[in-house]
Structure formats: structure tokens, C-alpha cells
Amino acid sequence: MPVVIDVNAADDQRDLVHRAVQALAEGKIVAFPTDTVYCLAANSFHEGAVARLAAFLAAESSAEFSLAIKSCDEALDYAPRLPPLGIRLARRCWPGPLILSVDDADEDSLVRRLPEPVRRLLGAKHRLNLRVPAHPIIQGVLKLAPAPLIVAELTGPGDSAAVTAEDVVRLAGEHVQLVLDHGASRTHLPASMVKISDKSYELVKPGALTDEHLRRLASFMLVFVCTGNTCRSPMAEALMRRRLAERLECSLEDLEDRGVWVLSAGVSARAGARASVEADEALAHWGVRLIQHESQPVSDRLVRFADLILTMTRGHRDALLSQWPEASQRVCLLTRGHGDVADPIGGPIELYRKCAEQIDRCLANWLDEIDFSQIPVWRGGKPPPVPPPQGQG
């Protein structure tokens, strides 16, 4: 029977991480709690452990093997040509309950360095499944382990999932050597598996993420940033929404249902402030208003979710990159290096109008940068609203 360790009773969870790393290095199969249900894991470089895991789960027709990796960035080591849509979903969902199923034909993939039997197991359907579980224990193991893990969610008769350590012992018994018990899973649903191709995705195994959530998560998100989010960035947001609606031939209200989110935020903004009266008046020429706008500060999640962040000044860009250097490829100056968009605050209405005109001229060029073929469009009615993260949440 396996050794079962109560995670909550441990004096230092780092000791559990080291113990699990050692067990995996010795070729043992370890059961981990995850952000979904319990999974069984083996060292991807240990052929014997992977073979035993595969043999045990062979009777499970629904068993899917995934390569558990550290992060979204590491995904490109194993799927170098992961399409932008796949990168977007990975950035927004990982760590989390998403398995990305990608084409296994890339010769530059680090999967080619794994033992041949392991490669055959992972690419049995000419697809490679990648996952970044969110639980801190398995995250700690992935950071210390010299190789990624082969993982599979444990299910029983009728595809019932292992949601407790007791379920693991009952279903796996002697086939698992170490079980890390962290109580019942937060959800009884498995991870959702999404098949990614160049310009589309398919939910091939429903789970914790529904099709409606994935539709929103696959949307393109553009964020404008200024200082207080009451003047320049709200004007940019409203003007860009107008241009996008014209390009997509839809109403402003239907933009989100066409797979496009346009937001704004401020590096020194407080939540809930209204747009300035002058900024709202300056947009009258374009037939758009800011009366519904509420300011929000830039947040970790907003930066992580954004596909493109356009700042009004170099100072705003520098402020973002000092805190989120990993976003450097997605944070750009609105003017493309041709000066800043000066703050009209406190000036006459004519200054606000000139500011809006400068912003709108810049937007015309950025509109051509958006690859609309990478934005999934769905039909057949609106999905339930699942808005992107805002504020500090």
C-alpha cells in the first residue's frame, strides 16, 4: 500500500516537495492534489516508472497523458510553433485547469529528448498534451525536478474522478507509492482539454472550464494605459472600440461577442472614478461617450491577460515594465516612438480635442496590426457573460 502524507499536518511543505522529487527520481509513482482532481505522476526520464503508470491506466479508456511543465514560457520549448491562440489561452489559464493538445510534429521540440517509449506514449495520437497544474505542491516539484512529469488524472468506474486521497488509495492501491493528501479537491471536475490548431480551438474534453468560459478566454484583449484612467486612456478605449466595430461590421455592444475586448487602466488610478467632463465632451465629434466609464488601476491579472498594451507615454511604459518585465513584447508606446500623448488635464476643451485627434490618428495604424484571423468568432446566440479580470482582483 502507498505511503500517505497529510499535507496540512506538515511543519514545512518544502520538505514534502523534496520528498516527492526524490520519490520521482527513484522511479516511484506519486499522487498529487491539483487545482482539479488528484493525478498520478511519473518522472518523464524514468522509462520504467512511465511504463508502469501506462500499464496501470491502460484499462482506463478515458485516461489522457499530459506533460506537466513549469510555466507558459516553457510551453514553447515543447511546442515551439504554438499558435498565438494557444499562447493566449496558456497565458490566461496557466497555472490552472487547462490541458492544451498541440501538434506533435515539431522536430525542434524538447520532447525529442525524452526516451523513445515516453515519446510514443505522449504522441500516441500525434498530439502532445501540455499542462501547468496550479497546486503549490506540484508547482514546487516541477521547479526542482530535472525533467517534466508525465501526469494523468485518476478516474474510476463511470469516469468518476479521484477527489480525495482515499479515492486514490482505493483506485490505485499498490500501483502508487506516495500519496500527498491535501483533502478533497476544490472541484470534482477534471481539467478541460482543448485541441489547438493554427486559427481555431476545439474543446475535446469538458471539465472545469466550460465552452462559454473558453470563448471569452480566447478573445483578443487590448488595454490602453495612462496615469489616472480618467482622460487619455478612456478616450483611446472609446475611439478604438468605434474603429473596431466599423472594421468588424458590428455594434459597439456586440464587440465582445465578436471576440474583442478593449479596456483601459491607469498606473496611478483609483478604482471607480468617472471620466473627465472635458474628455467626454471632446469625443462628441465621433459620436461616442464616456458616461459609463469607471477608472481602474493596472493589475497583475490585467497585464497577464492583455494581448497588447498601448501606453500614452514612455514613462507609462517604463512603469509597467519595471513591475512586469515579462510583458515587454506586449507593451508598446501608442505613438510608436514618435513622442508622447501629453496629458490635457486642466487645459481648455480645445486641448482635449487635439489630444483625442492625436490618439485617433495613432489608432488607425494599430488597427492594421490586429490579426483578426486569430480571433475566434462564434455564432448561435450570446454566451453567458464572463468578463475579463478588472481592478486588483
What domains can be seen in the chain, in order of their start residue? 3-215 (3.90.870.10), 219-374 (3.40.50.2300)
The whole-number pLDDT of residue 388 equals 46
Active site annotation includes 318:
no
b/e per residue 85-102 (b: at least 16 CB within 10 A)? bbbbbbbbbbbbbbbbbb
- In the predicted model, what is the mean pLDDT of residues 263-273? 97
For 161, the 3-state DSSP assignment is strand
Rounded CA separation 276/246 (Å): 26
39, 72, 93, 226: which is the annotated catalytic residue? Answer: 226
The whole-number pLDDT of residue 387 equals 44
Torsion of CA 130, 85, 360, 343, to 10 degrees: -10
The whole-number pLDDT of residue 271 equals 96
- In the predicted model, what is the mean pLDDT of residues 323-337? 96
In this structure, what C-alpha cell is assigned to residue 9?
499536518
The whole-number pLDDT of residue 382 equals 41
Q: How do residues 7-41 score in pLDDT, each as one tens digit?
A: 999 999 999 999 999 999 999 999 999 999 999 99
Does the structure show a pLDDT above 50 at 141? yes
The whole-number pLDDT of residue 378 equals 45
- Average pLDDT of every residue of the chain: 91
Active site annotation includes 181:
no
Rounded CA separation 186/179 (Å): 17
The whole-number pLDDT of residue 212 equals 86
The better pLDDT of the pair 155, 184 is held by 184
pLDDT band at 58 (very low <50, low <70, confident <90, very high): confident
Lowest model confidence (mean pLDDT) among 111-115, 180-184, 370-374: 370-374
Task: Give the contacts of 56 (CB within 8 A, at least 6 positions apart).
Answer: 29, 40, 172, 175
77, 106, 340, 343: which is the annotated catalytic residue? Answer: 343
Share of the chain above pLDDT 70, in %: 94
Q: How do residues 282-293 score in pLDDT, each as one tens digit?
A: 999 899 999 999
- In the predicted model, what is the mean pLDDT of residues 320-344? 96
Active site annotation includes 232:
yes
Does the structure show a pLDDT above 50 at 127? yes
Q: How do residues 142-160 score in pLDDT, each as one tens digit?
A: 999 999 999 999 987 766 8
- In the predicted model, what is the mean pLDDT of residues 111-122? 91
DSSP 163-196: -SHHHHHHHHGGG-SEEEE--S-S-SS--EEEEE
Rounded CA separation 108/112 (Å): 8
92, 131, 232, 258: which is the annotated catalytic residue? Answer: 232
User: What are the DSSP E strand ranges found in 245-374?
Assistant: 260-266, 308-311, 331-333
The whole-number pLDDT of residue 61 equals 59
Q: Which residue reads 458590428 in cell numbers?
A: 250
The whole-number pLDDT of residue 60 equals 64
Does the structure show a pLDDT above 90 at 184? yes
Angle at 70 between CA 65 and CA 74, to 5 degrees: 95
Q: How do residues 209-266 score in pLDDT, each as one tens digit?
A: 998 889 889 999 999 999 999 999 999 999 999 999 999 999 999 999 888 999 999 9
The whole-number pLDDT of residue 391 equals 38
> First-to-last CA distance in the chain?
43
Q: How do residues 89-106 score in pLDDT, each as one tens digit?
A: 999 999 999 999 998 878
